[in-house]
Amino acid sequence: MAELEGKVALVTGGATGIGLAAATLFAAEGARVFITGRRQAELDAAAARIGATAIRGDVSDLADLDAIAARIAEAAGRLDVLFANAGGADTLATIAELRPESFDEVFGTNVRGAAFTVQKTLPLMPDGASIVVTGSTSASRGNPGFGTYSASKAALRQYARVWAAELAPRRIRVNVLVPGPTDTPGLRGIAGDPAGVPALLAQMAASTPLNRVADPAEIAQAALFLASDRSSFITGSELFADGGEVQVFPAA
Ligand SMILES: NC(=O)c1ccc[n+]([C@@H]2O[C@H](COP(=O)([O-])OP(=O)(O)OC[C@H]3O[C@@H](n4cnc5c(N)ncnc54)[C@H](OP(=O)(O)O)[C@@H]3O)[C@@H](O)[C@H]2O)c1
């Protein structure tokens, strides 16, 4: 029996990287999948490949979130699984270099975006629904230049604890999926120049005991576990799919 048979799932940031891999797996496991993102062409290509429905929208825009929720309500009438995954960092900066615009951009997407994605889709969720948010190993570490991104993911981790408590009376579970370095356009983008990608990937691989970066499909398996009833007694938790980065090489 497919793990998500008959379920309705929304994957934000579902056109590329971890979101695309999760949306693909959720659809293969029987879910009716909606994907969102800001770039229409990427969304349309991904939706056609997966057999999903694409809804263009920016998670930091409340009107877009209202429109996304309305589209799902109209098309499917409910939402069983929310994978609040859209996010990233526009640029890396030390505290001395930090610009207010960059802070607003990162927190606007990663924290405000996730919070209001949950709020706006909550009325569509039946009792027993599952919310998975994408965290980061950066939330547990002190990597120079990653401050704003790390702080945003730490905020999200704490939000998930509170949402888990608030939604427990409705048996809605909320968990954080913590990917380690994963080979996605988002990770490659950190290199800036494409010529720097191999060195970046090698450096990221060395940060894990398994000495490699993850394939997005590996992270998708962890997302499926948290999304499905197989994790029925897990809430307010975080699942590290990080090649051991945080648990084996803890920050000093
Ligand atoms: N790759 C890693 O090593 C790694 C590790 C830990 C955590 N993560 C987290 O994993 C998640 C997915 O990242 P990824 O690595 O798969 O990178 P990615 O391929 O860049 O995926 C990010 C997705 O989010 C969408 N997105 C970004 N900002 C958005 C916004 N304001 N509104 C709507 N959609 C938005 C992007 O689409 P548009 O640009 O078209 O909007 C894109 O499809 C992120 O939350 C990231 O922080 C990644």
- Return per-residue pLDDT of the chain as tens, 252 residues: 799 999 999 999 999 999 999 999 999 999 999 999 999 999 999 999 999 999 999 999 999 999 999 999 999 999 999 999 999 998 899 999 999 999 999 999 999 999 999 999 999 999 999 999 999 999 999 999 999 999 999 999 999 999 999 999 999 999 999 999 999 999 999 998 999 999 999 999 999 999 999 999 999 999 999 999 999 999 999 999 999 999 898 765
Is 148 a pocket residue for ligand 1 (Cβ < 6 Å)? no
Active site (annotated) includes residue 159 = no
Q: Determine the Cα–Cα distance for residues 4 and 221; give it in Å rounded to an integer.
A: 13
What does DSSP say about strands 32-37 and 53-56: parallel, antiparallel, or unpaired?
A: parallel
In angstroms, what is the span from residue 199 Cα to ligand 1's centroid?
A: 21
In angstroms, what is the span from residue 2 Cα to ligand 1's centroid?
A: 27
* Contact predicate 246/138, CB 8 Å: no
Is 50 a pocket residue for ligand 1 (Cβ < 6 Å)? no
What does DSSP say about strands 8-12 and 81-84: parallel, antiparallel, or unpaired?
A: parallel
**How does DSSP assign 79-123, residue by residue?**
-SEEEE-----S----TTT--HHHHHHHHIIIIIIHHHHHHHHGG
Is 243 a pocket residue for ligand 1 (Cβ < 6 Å)? no
Q: Determine the Cα–Cα distance for residues 119 and 175; give it in Å rounded to an integer.
A: 16
Measured from the Cα of 134, ligand 1's closest atom is 45
Is 18 a pocket residue for ligand 1 (Cβ < 6 Å)? yes
In angstroms, what is the span from residue 214 Cα to ligand 1's centroid?
A: 15
Per-residue model confidence (pLDDT) at position 252: 58
Q: Which residues contact 130 (CB under 8 A, 6 or more apart)?
A: 80, 81, 82, 172, 173, 175, 226, 227, 228, 231
Q: Which residues contact 97 (CB under 8 A, 6 or more apart)?
A: none
Strand residue runs (E) in the chain? 8-12, 32-37, 53-56, 81-84, 130-134, 173-179, 238-241
Is 162 buried (19+), middle (13-18) or exposed (0-12) by CB count in 10 A?
Answer: exposed
Per-residue model confidence (pLDDT) at position 91: 84
Task: Tell me 135's DSSP state.
Answer: -
Torsion sign across C-alpha atoms 142, 143, 147, 153: negative
Single-letter amino acid, residue 45: A
Tell me the pTM.
0.98
The catalytic residue among 107, 149, 159, 163 is: 149
Residue nearest to atom 42 of ligand 1 (CA): 13
